[in-house]
Amino acid sequence: MSPKLPVLHADVREVDGLALDPALAERWLVNFLRDEMIGRRGIRTAIVGVSGGVDSAVVAFLCAKALGPENVHGVRMPYRTSSEESFRHGALVTASTRIHDIVIDISDAVDGYLQHEREASPTRRGNVMARQRMIVLFDQSAKYDGLPVGTGNKSERLLGYFTWHADDSPPINPIGDLFKTQIWQLARHLGVPPAIIDKPATADLIRGQTDEEDLGITYARADRILQLALMGYREEDIVEHGFTPTDVALVMRRVNSTHWKRHLPTTAVISTTAINEFYLRPVDF
């Protein structure tokens, strides 16, 4: 039988497991970046895609603290229909952190392909933009002898709310184990400008789009449901603690239907030395 938890109401902002010690998280993540980049790879330069959103802002602030702002390149990559507010907020991040500010407009690159795919849906167009941005980040990494640093949070990853082989491509990610609500907590501690923290979250791939409208649920409610699910609670148990069956089913359907996005490509195993199946270094376990 599942353990009983306090009933959660709509006005409750934090539950056990979601409240963050931001000072401790900052120290942990700064040391993570130094260890993974300098210690394991011998790389001292970080390449961060700066969108103007809170996730990439937090990563930029962490990288600046870990490596020094002179060793961090913030790359802003607008498309011709991108939000001007997001573009300005990206500049606010690079100015606040004193990292290098690089602007690369992806419009021509994206349109060069999409001119042959004029019937492409908004989702397809958004995915093309996301993957083009990752091409830019990896190429800029080659240019500056650096490493792309990921900016995807735990909520997005669990809900599958990201473009496969785009947002999830960077080899290290300091915020991938932080829920969106925890990102907001850490952002306030780090000194991310309030204008970035307080605005509605958006992937800015489709004009006027917001994350919560796309998902059909707020991050505040989704994160609580995800946390309980990760603790082993069944859907019916989560409902008993203040959530509607519709919300719980929505969240769990997204988690279950996007499980494949959180793994490397599935390899057909025909030997006893299949990479990532049998051939693993100690650090891979």
Q: Please indicate, yes or no, if residue 150 is contained in any of the structural domains.
A: yes
Structure token pair of residue 16? 């056990």
Q: Please indicate, yes or no, if residue 278 is contained in any of the structural domains.
A: no
Decide which of 158 and 283 is more confident.
Answer: 158
Check: CB of residue 255 under 8 Å from CB of residue 243.
no
Looking at the 3D structure of the chain, how many domains does it have?
Answer: 1
**Cα dist from 237 to 80, 173, 228, whole Å:** 47, 32, 9
| Structural domain of 80 | 22-212
Distance separating alpha carbons of residues 224 and 16, to the nearest angstrom: 9
pTM: 0.89
Q: Please indicate, yes or no, if residue 67 is contained in any of the structural domains.
A: yes
Decide which of 142 and 281 is more confident.
Answer: 142
Q: Please indicate, yes or no, if residue 246 is contained in any of the structural domains.
A: no
pLDDT in tens, 203-246: 666 666 788 888 999 999 999 999 999 999 999 999 998 999 99
Q: What is the CATH number of the domain that holds 155?
A: 3.40.50.620
Q: Please indicate, yes or no, if residue 133 is contained in any of the structural domains.
A: yes
Q: Please indicate, yes or no, if residue 255 is contained in any of the structural domains.
A: no
Q: Which long-range contacts (CB under 8 A, 24 or more apart) does 270-278 make?
A: none
Q: Please indicate, yes or no, if residue 35 is contained in any of the structural domains.
A: yes
Residue 182: the pLDDT is 96
Q: Please indicate, yes or no, if residue 284 is contained in any of the structural domains.
A: no
